Chain A
Amino acid sequence: MKLFNTALFLVSTLLFCKVTAQNNEMATVKGGVYLPLYGTADKTVKVDSFMMDVYPVTNADFLKFVKENPLWKKSNIKRLFADESYLTKWTTDENFSGLPNAPATNVSWFAAKKYCECQGKRLPKMDEWEYAAMANENVPDARKVESYNQYILNWYETPKTFNKTVGSTFKNYWGIYDLHGLVWEWTQDFNTVLISGESRKDVDKDSNLFCGSAAIGASDLMNYAAFMRYAFRGSMKARYSSQNLGFRCAKNLEN
């Protein structure tokens, strides 16, 4: 009996989440220790080795997903899981605007999470994302390299980069594209960012975040670039979506 239930569960999970290979290229990021911009006061964080999608999820990928999982179409999605801005530029349930291989944006955290689950993957943790994104073309941690920071800041000043195609920025040390330069990306635990601002004055505030922004000194271009990301995450709710915000998936390293 139990076996039957398990079988039923497995079969139906597969049916519920049609698993099809799409844009499946992943790169391995070798784990290590890094010091995040903020969080556990001056403590380094250990990141285990993991795999990450080489490119952000594209419009074409996401179309395929909603076709196979109709509950996540623009007109079907439950408001609990996405607000009105979900896929806002899609003209119909099955017509995105923009290029097929541009990053899918205006996707809520719930939808991004579901998408990854349906690929047998998950969203990257924030530490994994930050760790992978420290790399430039040549080194795994380029956060002190001026050109690396300048690249990010230039991107912040460039409008509408979400219209570009995936793969149009640099390939980093791990073989991953577009962590900087196209769109911001959802992470699994984006809601670990505790911002003490007008909107959420109640949290045990994390002053480290603000120390970074207050001190504009020599090494702080790097802090500024990262601060913007953390601040953005802190301002998001899981049902929100934005035209500047896409996602990619990750998974644990297979042994």
Chain B
Amino acid sequence: MKNFKYILIALSLFAISCNDTSKKDTEITAENSSENSTDNKISDMSIYNLPSQWTTQDGNEIELKQLQGKVLVMVMIYTSCQAACPRLVADMRNIEKQIPENKKDGIQYVFVSIDPKTDTPERLTAFAKENEMEDAKWLFLRGSEDDTREFAAVLAVNYKQISPMDFSHSNIISVFNKAGELAHQQEGLGVNNKETVQAIIDLTK
């Protein structure tokens, strides 16, 4: 009976997190997985425990889990931002430049919008284009307001809408290891990013 319950829990987890996969997929996953096997795969501190769904700049639906295996460099921004965000974008680009050629493949740079109402996939695409970040290594994500708030809570990024156009927000760049565990955070704008770059290089090993 207890087992049955766990299967149902697992099943419902999958149903919640992948409700656009086909029924067949759901069944297969449900058969093969128990709570334990999921635990083995994803560690306690991993952001891959979050079931949230995100939309990319290309309009694809993804879960964070799909990024597993890459080192993630993440920042929360909004595209209509005039003040801090361009500098955060510059910081991200700056970090990317300093990564040696042979390490570049294993790294994903992720921008998460804190203004999902405004930042539609179209808007994110335009933003990527403006900033010459159209390569696949740059990923722009938009989620529901709740999931965005939750994700910010995980990153300890605080933000608040202060007018229809503007948000106040913490300027934090977060680095996650291949298992989705927070490994390094850089706080502030235009700060020396040597440590961040080193952390990223170390994590790709």
Contacts and interface: CB of A to CB of B under 8 A. Distances in A.
A205 to B, nearest CB: 8
Q: Which of B11, B15, B35, B189 has the most CB of A within 10 A?
A: B15
Interface stretch (B45-53, B115-123, B134-142): B45-53
B1 interface: no
B160 to A, nearest CB: 4
Contacts of B9: 15-16, 71
Interface stretch (B66-74, B161-169, B195-203): B161-169
Nearest to A233: B158
Contact of A238 (B16, B153, B162): B153
A12 B46 contact: no
A247 interface: no
Given A200-B170, A206-B168, A40 B19 contact: no
Interface in A1-49: 1, 4-5, 8-9, 11-13, 15-16, 39-41
A180 to B, nearest CB: 24
Given A5-B23, A9-B16, A206-B168, A201 B160 contact: no
Q: Which of B150, B153, B156 has the most CB of A within 10 A?
A: B153
A254 interface: no
Contacts of A144: none
B152 interface: yes
Nearest to A195: B158
Nearest to A9: B15
Q: Which of A109, A194, A204, A206 has the most CB of B within 10 A?
A: A204
A78 B83 contact: no
Chief secondary structure at chain A's binding surface:
loop
B184 interface: no
17 contacts: A8-B23, A9-B16, A12-B15, A13-B16, A15-B12, A39-B160, A78-B45, A79-B45, A80-B46, A80-B154, A191-B153, A191-B156, A192-B160, A200-B170, A204-B83, A206-B168, A234-B158
A189 interface: yes
Interface of A: 1, 4-5, 8-9, 11-13, 15-16, 39-41, 71, 78-81, 109-110, 113, 188-189, 191-194, 200-204, 206, 234, 237-238
Interface residues on B, range: 35 or more
Interface in B86-139: none
Nearest to A108: B153
B16 A16 contact: yes
Contact of B153 (A5, A194, A237): A237
B77 to A, nearest CB: 13
Contacts of A13: 12, 15-16
Contact of A200 (B8, B44, B158, B160): B158
A200 B187 contact: yes
A4 B35 CA distance: 24
B59 interface: no
B172 A202 contact: yes
B65 interface: no
A203 B158 CA distance: 8
A194 B171 CA distance: 11
Nearest to A206: B168
B112 to A, nearest CB: 14
A10 to B, nearest CB: 9
Contacts of A80: 44-47, 49-50, 154
Contacts of B149: 188-189, 191
B45 A15 contact: no
B48 to A, nearest CB: 9
A12 B45 contact: no
Given A12-B8, A78-B45, A188-B149, A193 B158 contact: yes
Nearest to B20: A5
Contacts of A12: 8, 11-12, 15-16
